[in-house]
Amino acid sequence: MVRVGYIMSRFPLLSETFVLDEVLEFKRRGCQVTLFPLIREGSGAQHPETLQVQHDLVYSPFISRAILAANWRMLRAAPLRYVRTLVSTFVRVAPSLNFTLGAAGIWLKSVYLAEEARRRGIGHLHAHFCTHPTLAAWIIQRLVGIPYSFTAHGSDLHVDQTMLAEKVRRARFAVMISRYNLEFAVARIGEALRPKLLLIHCGIDNTAFVPVPVPQGDPLRILCIALLRPVKGHASLLRACRLLTERGLAWHLSLIGDGALRGELESLCDRLEISAQVAFLGQQPRPVVHAHLGACQVVALTSVMDRQGRREGIPVSLMEALAMARPVVASRLSGIPELIEHGRTGLLAEPGNPVDIADQLQWISQHPDAARGLARQGRQRVREAFDVRTNAACLIDAITADASSRAPVSSGSTGADR
């Protein structure tokens, strides 16, 4: 089987379990996988499963003597290809300041990774997120001919589509994690490239989630698992909880996740006079998250679209909640309705509407038997369509089929710069 190299922005990230789980499933199926994170995430809380891939990680700085030497070797061995790829990269990203700065940051490292991937016998690269990781894969393909694919998730696709069509054109295929994303992409890159887009949901390891009975009684125990960022809509959830108080409903909210908005959200709790009922728990590893899922009565994720156009893909935290047979309240936004069908597998509220969110939470509180029925159907939905083993197998099949269909590269040719 082809040896696969994974490129992602950062690793390990507590919030990106979908990458870790996918890699673990690749390894479970006998695939040889090497991870090339563009940035080494700082030490801190990590999921225990990260230890299973520690020997498959290749970290590198943005610049070093080894990276400069690799660039010199590449320039000397293939000067026209090196210069052509360099110029093409910056011409293509020029419309976007963010992408231009990103390209400046990763160019030297990408050349080094091209040499390293070839030395390690990588036969296919897969990038998670269609921004800088896919740009790195695109550069590597241009330089040494290693084919690539990528997965587009949420904000990486929705905010800035600079160079998206070119990345799809050169990719062997591109994975969209929702039908919403697939149609969003087609509307921007054109129908001609639709055949290169595959719909493969992110998934979870359903075997890791064992449902326990939902606790009963007051207060209503609400759990939200999300980074403290504007796109997650915490402010709307807090205002909805204040409305629950005004309606005479007892509740307690636990927030798992951290981020730049923590101070602002804590201040909002003070202004709403609900601080005593809200616990900010910060980032937590999986065992702690699972314990809180078992202790809650409802999981809420009230996402919004922010001013830059950022929005969710299909949040893994909702899949995990349903896998634990917990009722969920989420936003009618982006790909979320592909997982949460209102009144069948969960409840949906209008994004940024505290009254609607409070209505859904109150319904959960007042109809516990019906809420458990939603959760059971939601668990079945996750098992059928959002299982990492099934969905990773689809990605493996796509990579394997592509490798089998490619004509052998002639001696002396890299297949690069096509």
- Phi then psi for residue 21, to 5 deg, are -65, -40
Q: What is the model's pLDDT at position 362?
A: 98
Cα 214 to Cα 180, 222, 374: the distances in Å are: 32, 12, 12
Same fold yes or no, 4-203+387-405 and 207-385 = yes
pLDDT > 50? residue 91: yes
Q: What is the pLDDT of residues 318-374, one digit of tens each?
A: 999 999 999 999 999 999 999 999 999 999 999 999 999 999 999 999 999 999 999
For the chain, which residues make up each domain, given as ranges?
4-203+387-405, 207-385
* pLDDT recorded at residue 410: 37
Say if CB 56 and CB 35 are below 8 A apart.
yes
* Band of pLDDT at residue 406, cut at 50, 70 and 90: low
Residues 390 and 396: their CA atoms lie apart, in Å, by: 10
| CA–CA distance, 51 with 151 (Å, rounded to integer) | 24
Averaged pLDDT for residues 52-81: 93
Q: Looking at the predicted structure, is the pLDDT value of residue 390 above 60? A: yes
Predicted local distance difference test score (pLDDT) of residue 217: 87
pLDDT at residue 18 in the model: 81
Tokens of 401: 């089929």
Tens-digit pLDDT profile for residues 214-225: 998 899 999 999
Closest to 292 in 3D by CA, of 210, 207, 223: 223
Q: Report how far residue 26's alpha carbon sits from residue 292's, in angstroms, rounded to the nearest whole number.
A: 29
Q: Quick one: average pLDDT of 20-33? A: 90
Closest alpha carbon to 18 in 135, 173, 126, 165 = 126
74-89 pLDDT per residue, tens:
999 999 999 999 999 9
pLDDT in tens, 122-141: 999 999 999 999 999 999 99
Q: Per-residue pLDDT tens for 28-57?
A: 999 999 999 998 876 566 677 777 888 888
pLDDT digits (tens, 9 = 90+) for 288-319: 999 999 999 999 999 999 988 888 999 999 99
Instruction: Write down the pTM of the prediction.
Output: 0.88
Residue 45: per-residue pLDDT: 60
pLDDT digits (tens, 9 = 90+) for 270-291: 999 999 999 999 999 889 999 9
Q: Is the pLDDT of residue 416 over 90?
A: no
Provide the pLDDT for residue 409: 43
Taking all residues of the chain, what is their mean pLDDT, rounded to a whole number?
A: 92
**Gap between the Cα atoms of 299 and 105, Å rounded:** 39
Percent of the chain at pLDDT exceeding 70: 95
Average pLDDT over residues 156-160: 94
pLDDT surpasses 50 at 157: yes
- Answer whether residue 418 shows pLDDT above 70: no
Give the pLDDT score at 415: 57
User: Which of these, 329, 398, 385, lies nearest to 360 by C-alpha position?
Assistant: 329
Q: Does domain 4-203+387-405 have CATH number 3.40.50.2000?
A: yes
In angstroms, the CA 149 to CA 136 distance is 11
Q: How confident is the model at residue 403 (pLDDT cuts 50, 70, 90)?
A: confident
pLDDT at site 412? 41
Q: Tell me, letter by letter, the H, E, C secondary structure of the chain.
A: CCCEEEEEEEECCCCCHHHHHHHHHHHHCCCCEEEEEEEECCCCCCCHHHHHHHHHECCCCCCCHHHHHHHHHHHHHCHHHHHHHHHHHHHHHCCCHHHHHHHHHHHHHHHHHHHHHHHCCCCEEEEECCCHHHHHHHHHHHHHCCCEEEEECCHHHHCCCCCHHHHHHHCCEEEECCHHHHHHHHHHHCHHHHHHEEECCCCECHHHCCCCCCCCCCCEEEEEECCCCHHHCHHHHHHHHHHHHHCCCCEEEEEEECCCCHHHHHHHHHHHCCHHHEEEEECCCHHHHHHHHHHCCEEEECCCCCCCCCCCCCCHHHHHHHHCCCCEEEECCCCHHHCCCECCCEEEECCCCHHHHHHHHHHHHHCHHHHHHHHHHHHHHHHHHCEHHHHHHHHHHHHHHHHHHCCCCCCCCCCCCC
Question: Does domain 207-385 match CATH 3.60.20.30?
Answer: no
